[in-house]
Structure 1
Amino acid sequence: MSRKHLLSLFFWAMMIQTSFGQLSRTAYLSLEKALGEQSFFNGHLTGFYLYDLDSQRVIFEKNSQINFIPASTTKLFTLFASLVILQDSTQTLRYISQGDTLKIWGSGDPSWKYKDFYQPDFQKIIGSHSIILYSDANQVSPAFGYGWQWDDYYFDYSAERSSLPIYGNLVEVKKGSIGPILFPNQFELNTTSTIQKEIERDFHSNQFFYNPKTYLGREKYLPFITSGTLTAELAFEITGKTWIYRPDSLPQNHLSWRGSPLFPLLQEMMYESDNFIAEQMLWMISDRLFQTLDTERAIDFIKKTYLSDLPDSPKWVDGSGLSRHNLFTPRSMGTLVEKLYRILPENQLVELLPTGGKTGTLKNSYQASTPYIFAKTGTMSNNFSLVGLIRGKSGKLYAFSFMNSNYLYGASVVRKEVEKVMVQLRDFL
């Protein structure tokens, strides 16, 4: 090959290298303007990160090294940990059979009598045993997560964690002819006309109150206070077998049972931003790894192994994002999305993430004839984030994270402005 041809090949290769995986000058300047000093986003703290999955290059970033409160985008971390540790099925029970007695320790599976999930076949394990001894001695973490707001205790998005949840640790509330009807029906209902809220639970007990003057039946579910004894009572009603609560330690020699498919739970966690499922996922992960239900230990393991190469070490404290102690940078969030993209087939990852204009928390936003946003939202007072995948008009997929904090207006205002930027970005990619 002549020197002339070699030089031509060299310059052609350099041109491809510099252009591949980069924004055009027009697109770059437009993003700079959309997020710059004269933009809406200059009024609060904003971080942005855009990554080309094909060229494996960062093609735009702004404040991507700054920590933000991620809110429910924390569930992307929980999703990743669930996929690499739990893989395809839940961790339901650990057990020992001794004659007519079955000893069980819950592993955190949230499926039992919760929503419309596939039900673990408990009869398969119970069999001919006439007595079930139930223990929660393997539970290390408390019912509430670190940094959760105490006054969320009566909202359904803040249900307690437990080793063997039933009904999602929620009381179902239906409007009756003369007041609310609660299920399971052993939860007592007292009436009063002196409280401010139309229906609520006592802070320290499973006693529920409603105001007959204001009750409209808007609340569908209320959390109950969990306990080993209450779990045994609820399980007895469901199975017809005698359940006795006895907090014995888990012995070394025992059997393990994985009772339900994992994918539907993960999809519900992501589509509906289900906090309860997310928290129980971390407990199942801990059980699989250490045979204890310990959120902190599970997170520490995942961070030191599968996430040790993140650009910035995250402060990760729960599975759901309810805690304001969670702190992640946009570039670590974007890197996590890339990790998810590498471990899952593209169609499966897209199926797990809410799709703009189609599914989950994005059903009513990012509407387009061809879906282009596949992402998790995270909303908390003064914080809004969107993290996931964007498909450009070219058909290529990019990982991105768009995080906002310290604004004083409503989250809906920020969401609309974020959508404007993402539409513009789609058209440039």
Structure 2
Amino acid sequence: MRGRLRLVLPALTTVLACGLTGMQATPARALCPAELPAAIARVVEHPDWQRARWGILIREMASGRTLYARESERFFIPASTAKLLTTAAALQHFGPGWRARTSVYGTEASPVATELRLVGGGDPTLSREGLQVLARQVRDRGIVRVRTLVVEDSAFVEPDVVPSWEKDDIIAAYGTAANGTILHENAVTFTVVPQAVGQPPSWSWDDAIAGQQWQVTNRGVTAAAGTPYALELRPQLGTTQLEIVGSIPADNGPDVWELAVPHPHAYLRDVFLRELAAVGIVVERTALARSRPPERGTELAVIVSPPLGELVVQANRDSNNLVAEVLLRQLGRAVPDAGSISVRRDRLKILGVDPDGYALVDGSGLSRQNLVSPEALVQTLRGVTTAPYAPLYRQSLAAGGETGTLRWRLASLDLRAKTGTLAGVVALAGYLDPPQFAPLVFALLLNHSDRSPREQRAALDAIVERLNQIDRCPDGR
């Protein structure tokens, strides 16, 4: 996922997990299965969590034997662990080799095409380089002039943005629109740099075409070095107005913000128009379309996304919201009139996931209206293990101390897991292979906490560290 700075709610920022307030590090000693409930209780019953809710389920992978359960069939807000269900359903339906297509249709009446139609296929990885490839393919057809360039965004019928997402989410780059015509993840970088004391800071976009969709009002000021940072960026929801207010110290470095592109459909059109011009193709007029015509003509150019197996890595390991949302919509697109939520449910049933164990309204887990039980998460993780893509799915999860959202957590453990974080919510679900015990599958969810994200994650990590100590004791306990 692209870096999300400043505009992201503090609870969404990845931080190094530290020791929980009032808790000491647990010695790395063997832990009998019978001792596990008491060991976990020392974490979850700590006074820091007296007003919070815990949902926990820990099972042996092969046998399915439950080692510990706490409200495992109750609903919790899952945050990004919801991606586990979305990606499992996508793999079950499409298989890991599936790819999204971006095509250009038209007539081969070179050198002049009456209409050229760029059709987005919901490729969340489409870049300017991909559009350059399409432009060259069109030129190689002998086309040098286009009467009308149409950019068609008809791939998905669901809303581009989930209605229950909060306003800060849909303005930020981590909550960009999941439409059919995506370019550069529908995100743009905005940088503010302090100037001389008393002067307004300067600002710039990393992509002028995307940035031109915003109207910036700069009311900020550069303050003396050493003064507190007090700069704010205030996008106006439902508009393209962006206001810089407050002060930035003169000794502050560049301040980088990641924002959503307000109109991604038009953004892709404008960039493709420039790439066509770069290869010598003149376009007389352009149009945006949201529906498919009866006939598109001949496919003149095409590029494809990376295979689904790679997209699942981006969704799970890197917790890319846009990729997860697109995969959900691709399910709906593949089964017309069924709806993406329904198709996901049906595919998860095939994997043995009880549809009564979750109620998801999006694909990424960004909505606070999502509900999942620990049981449903564990059913998903176990259900995938018998599928031919099981190794890929497991490898798509972050590795403790090594990759993705677990890069700075739980090092030296044989752990693959999906993280989840929202304000007052943390979650972790995945696979753990303790050195002296059978492989485990687990789901840990903490809701309604007023502690810091760092403290919340530390509590989850403490439980996983205790799981890693588990051993089969001589008496078989």
State TM-score, norm by structure 1.
0.81
Q: Which position in structure 2 is the counterpart of 1:261?
A: 306
Per the alignment, residue 16 of structure 1 pairs with none
Q: Deviation at 1:84?
A: 2.1
**What letter matches 2:441 in structure 1?**
A
Alignment correspondent of 1:321: 365
Aligned to 1:122: 134
**CA deviation string 1:264-302 (max 9, x = no partner):** 332222222111222122223333333x9xxx8112112
The whole-number CA distance in structure 2 between the counterparts of 1:346 and 1:227 is 35
1:236 partnered with 2:273: yes
8 Å Cα contact 2:181-2:264 kept in structure 1: no
Q: Among residues 344, 352, 366, which one is paired with 2:410 in the alignment?
A: 366
1:164-192 per-position Cα deviation (integer Å, ceiling 9, x unaligned): 11121112234567622213214346342
Relative to structure 1, is the Cα distance of residues 205 and 57 closer, same or farther in structure 2, using a 3 angstrom cutoff? same
Over 3 Å counting, the alpha-carbon distance change for 1:297 and 1:197 in structure 2 is farther
In structure 2, the residue matched to 1:47 is 55
Higher mean alpha-carbon deviation, 29-38 vs 402-411, is at: 29-38
Q: Tell me the equivalent position of 1:412.
A: 454
Where structure 2 has 5 or more consecutive residues not aligned to the other structure, the ranges are 1-30, 196-200, 222-229, 472-477
User: Is the contact made by 1:191 and 1:212 (CA closer than 8 Å) also made in structure 2?
Assistant: no
Aligned residue in 1 for 2:385: 341
Q: Distance in 2 between matches of 1:253 and 1:104?
A: 13
Q: Is the 8 A contact 2:76 2:373 kept in 1?
A: yes
Residue 280 of structure 1 corresponds to 326
- Aligned partner of 2:207 in structure 1 is 184
1:105 partner amino acid: V
CA contact (8 A) 2:88 2:384 kept: yes
The CA distance in 2 between the partners of 1:211 and 1:142, in whole Å, is 32
State whether residues 356 and 362 of structure 1, in contact with CA within 8 Å, keep that contact through their aligned partners in structure 2.
yes
Asked if 2 retains the 8 angstrom alpha-carbon contact of 1:93 and 1:107, the reply is yes
Greater mean alpha carbon deviation, residues 40-49 or residues 268-277: 40-49
Contact 1:111 1:120 in 2 (8 A): no
- 1:383 equivalent to 2:425? Answer yes
Q: In the alignment, which residue of structure 2 is the partner of 1:193?
A: 219
Question: Against the structure 1 CA distance between its residues 218 and 272, is the aligned structure 2 distance closer, same or farther, given a 3 Å change threshold?
Answer: farther
1:168 aligns with 2:185: yes
TM-score of the aligned structures, taking structure 2 as reference length: 0.74
Paired with 1:248 and 1:192, the residues of 2 have a C-alpha distance of: 35
Question: Could you tell which deviates more after superposition, 245-254 or 44-53?
Answer: 245-254
Which of 318, 330, 342 aligns to 1:300? It is 342
Q: Offset at 1:307?
A: 2.5
Identity score, percent: 19
The AA in structure 2 aligned to 1:193 is R
Which SS does the other structure have where 2:464 is aligned? helix
Judging changes above 3 Å, is the alpha-carbon distance between structure 1 residues 231 and 118 closer, same or farther for their aligned structure 2 residues?
A: closer
Question: Alpha carbons of 1:245 and 1:29: their partners in 2 closer, same or farther (altered >3 Å)?
Answer: same
Instruction: Pick closer, same or farther for the CA change 1:137–1:349 going to 2, 3 Å.
Output: closer
Aligned position for 1:8:
none
Contact in 1 for aligned 2:431/2:439 (Cα 8 Å):
yes
What's the secondary structure of 1:142's corresponding residue?
A: coil
Structure 2 vs 1, CA of residues 274 and 120 (structure 1 numbering), >3 Å: closer, same or farther? farther
For residues 359 and 303 of structure 2, the distance between their equivalents in structure 1, rounded to whole angstroms, comes to 30
Deviates more, 1:236-245 or 1:315-324: 236-245
Residue identity in the other structure for 2:119: W
Q: In structure 2, what is the Cα distance between the partners aligned to 1:183 and 1:420? A: 41
Deviation at 1:109, TM superposition (A): 0.7
Report the secondary structure of 1:164's partner residue. Answer: coil
After superposition, the Cα gap between the structure-2 partners of 1:239 and 1:415, relative to the gap in structure 1 and judged at 3 Å, is same
The higher relative CO (CA closer than 8 Å, separation ≥ 6) is in 2
1:58 aligns with 66
Task: Answer with 180-189 or 317-326: which moved more.
Answer: 180-189
**Does 2:135 align with 1:113?**
no
Structure 1 unaligned segments of length 5 or more: list them: 1-22
Structure 2 residue matching 1:221: 3-state secondary structure: strand
How far, CA to CA, are the matches of 2:133 and 2:387 in structure 1? 30
Comparing 168-177 and 118-127, the one that deviates more: 118-127
**Residue equivalent to 1:5:** none
**Corresponding residue for 1:310?**
353
Alpha-carbon distance between aligned partners in 2 of 1:150 and 1:297, rounded to the nearest angstrom: 25
Contact kept, 8 Å, 1:112 with 1:120, in 2: the verdict is no
Which letter maps to 2:361? V
Query: CA, structure 1 residues 397+124, in 2 after alignment: closer, same or farther (shift >3 Å)?
Result: farther
Seen in structure 2, the aligned counterparts of structure 1 residues 203 and 29 have a Cα distance that, compared at 3 Å, is closer
Counterpart amino acid of residue 271 in structure 2? L
Letter in 2 for 1:214: I
**Cα distance in 2 for residues equivalent to 1:39 and 1:396:** 32
